[in-house]
C-alpha cells in the first residue's frame, strides 16, 4: 500500500488558489464594469436625441424654490426649470416674474441687470423688458417665455403656463 505523497511546502494549498482566482475574477469584473460605464455613458448621451431631452425638459411643469420668497427687492436668481436655466426676479415694486433664461436669438443664458432694470444677453447685446420678458433691442426675435409665479409659505413656486 502506498502512503499519500507529502504536500509540497512551496506549492499553495487549493483554498489559496481558489481565493486568488476569485480575487482576480472580481478585479477583472470591476475593471470591465468601469470600462463599460466609461464607454457606454457617452454613447448613451450621444444617442439621446435633443428632441428627447427637450421633451424631458417639457415634462417638468413646476419647480419649488425653497426660501426664494426671501429674495431681496430688486434682485434675481437663476434656477433650473427642467434642463433649462430660468430667471426669477423680485422687482422693487414687490412684483415677481419668472422667465425662461435662454435667449431667443441663439440660446445664450440671459442675465438680469438690476441697475438698468433690464434683462440682457451678453452674446450679441439683446435686451428684454424685465417686467414682461418682451424683446426690446438687439437681435432676439421673440420675447422670453414667461412662467406663472406663486408665493407659498416655503418659498416660490414657478409653474409652466
Ligand atoms: S444669443 Fe442672445 S442676443 Fe444673440
Question: Ligand 1: which of 139, 141, 142, 143 to mutate, most ligand atoms within 8 Å of CB?
Answer: 139
Among protein residues, the one whose CA lies closest to atom 1 of ligand 1? 106
Per-residue pLDDT tens digits for 97-141: 999 999 999 999 999 999 999 999 999 999 999 999 999 999 999
| pLDDT at res. 7 | 57
Question: For the chain, which residues make up each domain, given as ranges?
Answer: 13-47, 61-159
**pLDDT tens profile 56-87:** 666 889 999 999 999 999 999 999 999 899 99
pTM above 0.95, yes or no: no
Task: Determine the Cα–Cα distance for residues 43 and 50; give it in Å rounded to an integer.
Answer: 14
What CA dihedral angle connects 118, 71, 66 and 55, to 10 degrees? 0
Q: Answer yes or no: is pLDDT of 161 > 80.
A: yes
pLDDT, the chain, mean: 88
- CATH class for the region spanning 61-159: mainly beta
CA separation for the pair 149, 95 (Å, rounded): 10
Amino acid at each position: 500500500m502506498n502512503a499519500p505523497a507529502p504536500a509540497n511546502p512551496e506549492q499553495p494549498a487549493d483554498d489559496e488558489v481558489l481565493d486568488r482566482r476569485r480575487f482576480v475574477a472580481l478585479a477583472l469584473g470591476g475593471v470591465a464594469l468601469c470600462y463599460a460605464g466609461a464607454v457606454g455613458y457617452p454613447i448613451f448621451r450621444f444617442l439621446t436625441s435633443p428632441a428627447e431631452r427637450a421633451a424631458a425638459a417639457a415634462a417638468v411643469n413646476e419647480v419649488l424654490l425653497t426660501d426664494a420668497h426671501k429674495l431681496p427687492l430688486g434682485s434675481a436668481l437663476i434656477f433650473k426649470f427642467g434642463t433649462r436655466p430660468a430667471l426669477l426676479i423680485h422687482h422693487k415694486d414687490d412684483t415677481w416674474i419668472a422667465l425662461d433664461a435662454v435667449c431667443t436669438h441663439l440660446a445664450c443664458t440671459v442675465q438680469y441687470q438690476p441697475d438698468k432694470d433690464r434683462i440682457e444677453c451678453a452674446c450679441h447685446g439683446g435686451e428684454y423688458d424685465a417686467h414682461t420678458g418682451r424683446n426690446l433691442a438687439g437681435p432676439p426675435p421673440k420675447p422670453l417665455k414667461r412662467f406663472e409665479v406663486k408665493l407659498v409659505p416655503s418659498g416660490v413656486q414657478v409653474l409652466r403656463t
